């Protein structure tokens, strides 16, 4: 494991609205149109005011965060990438005019440069035999000032509590991804789906990410939701309200920092498959620069 010194900020406990699933409504997300998509996964959500603890302050009191206990970790990934080559690509996310890099070219560059570096770093950190990156999403809120990129790899921050996989969808993704890399699913009895969330361009002052400590959730909180895309269907979990939930965020996250999220673990049985998480409206952030980030989805494979 790498020893890292992380950016420290003043402590604070805040109360903010967390948008839970309204389980009285139909649990379907239809995203067959191009574009960044809505910030809510459901037409009807159940907003609840919840206390959210600053993980940086908790770290100063001695609390440590891990994928196996809370389900998330604050990290400083040491990636073998020349990030300067991405300056124009990432700045184009803020541009309202045509630029020389198309979304398809940008995504090819991310796959060719970022994916291998992230796989190497996560494999070393977790002690995995292999790590496979199979998808990514840029989160950049559309602006009313100009045209919005029409691409499914760029979406708005999601402000509905969810976890990315159910046992059904994780198994399907595993069986789809491993053969593409010449690997046999039978050789890896243990696997984890790990997301890496990275701020881009600037300090996060708007729509930060919050996670519910896995020790505070119940099986009854998890509900399967159907995803509809033009070429396929999927399934995730959305989460209903529970006053027991312990919410944590990390204030003022900067480029160079990141969050690891455990969104599925083959050793975990039952509906609690991974850490619930959501973007939320940070009190007092009106007028702050829009949050821009990337999340990369990986499968970590273990021989035993």
The domains of the chain, with CATH numbers, are 15-302 (2.60.120)
Residues 30-87: pLDDT tens digits?
A: 766 655 566 788 889 999 999 999 999 999 999 999 999 999 999 999 887 766 666 6
Q: What predicted TM-score, i.e. pTM, was given to this entire model?
A: 0.89
Report strand pairing: 28-30 vs 222-228.
parallel
For residue 141, the model assigns a pLDDT of 66
Provide the 3-class DSSP secondary structure of residue 215.
helix
Per-residue confidence (pLDDT) for residue 213, from 0 to 100? 98
CB-side neighbour CA atoms (13 Å) of 80: 7
pLDDT of residue 99: 60
Q: Contacts by 8-12 with C-beta closer than 8 Å and gap 24+?
A: 8/56, 8/60, 9/54, 9/56, 9/251, 9/252, 10/251, 11/54, 11/56, 11/57, 11/60, 12/54, 12/57, 12/251
pLDDT, residue 101, reads 72
What pLDDT was estimated at residue 225?
93
Q: Is the dihedral of CA 279, 285, 286, 292 positive or negative?
A: negative
Cα(249)–Cα(252) distance, rounded to whole angstroms? 10
Q: What is the pLDDT of residue 304?
A: 77
For residue 7, the model assigns a pLDDT of 40
Give the whole-angstrom CA distance, residue 84 versus residue 68: 34
CA distance 16 to 98: 37
* Low-confidence spans in the chain with pLDDT less than 50: 1-11
């Amino acid at each position: 494991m790498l020893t890292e010194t992380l950016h420290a900020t003043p402590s604070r406990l805040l109360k903010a609205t967390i948008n839970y699933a309204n389980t009285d409504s139909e649990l379907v997300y239809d995203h067959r149109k191009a574009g960044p998509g809505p910030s809510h996964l459901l037409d009807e959500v159940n907003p609840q005011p919840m206390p959210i603890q600053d993980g940086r302050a908790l770290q100063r009191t001695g609390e440590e965060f891990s994928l196996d206990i809370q389900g998330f970790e604050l990290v400083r990934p040491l990636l073998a990438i020349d990030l300067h080559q991405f300056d124009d690509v990432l700045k184009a996310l803020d541009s309202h005019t045509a630029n020389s890099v198309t979304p398809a070219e940008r995504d090819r560059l991310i796959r060719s440069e970022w994916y291998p570096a992230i796989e190497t770093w996560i494999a070393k950190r977790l002690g995995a035999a292999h790590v496979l990156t199979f998808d990514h999403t840029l989160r950049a809120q559309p602006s009313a000032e100009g045209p919005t990129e029409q691409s499914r790899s760029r979406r708005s921050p999601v402000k509905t509590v969810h976890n990315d996989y159910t046992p059904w969808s994780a198994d399907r993704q595993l069986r789809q991804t491993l053969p593409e890399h010449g690997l046999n699913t039978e050789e890896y009895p243990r696997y984890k789906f790990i997301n890496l969330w990275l701020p881009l361009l600037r300090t996060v002052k708007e729509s930060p990410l919050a996670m519910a400590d896995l020790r505070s959730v119940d099986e009854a909180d998890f509900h399967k939701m159907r995803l509809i895309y033009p070429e396929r269907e999927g399934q995730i979990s959305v989460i209903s309200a529970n006053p027991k939930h312990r919410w944590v965020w990390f204030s003022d996250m900067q480029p160079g920092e990141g969050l690891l999220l455990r969104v599925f673990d083959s050793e975990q049985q039952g509906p609690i498959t991974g850490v619930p998480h959501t973007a939320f409206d940070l009190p007092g952030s009106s007028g702050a620069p829009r949050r821009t980030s990337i999340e990369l989805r990986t499968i970590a494979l273990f021989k035993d």
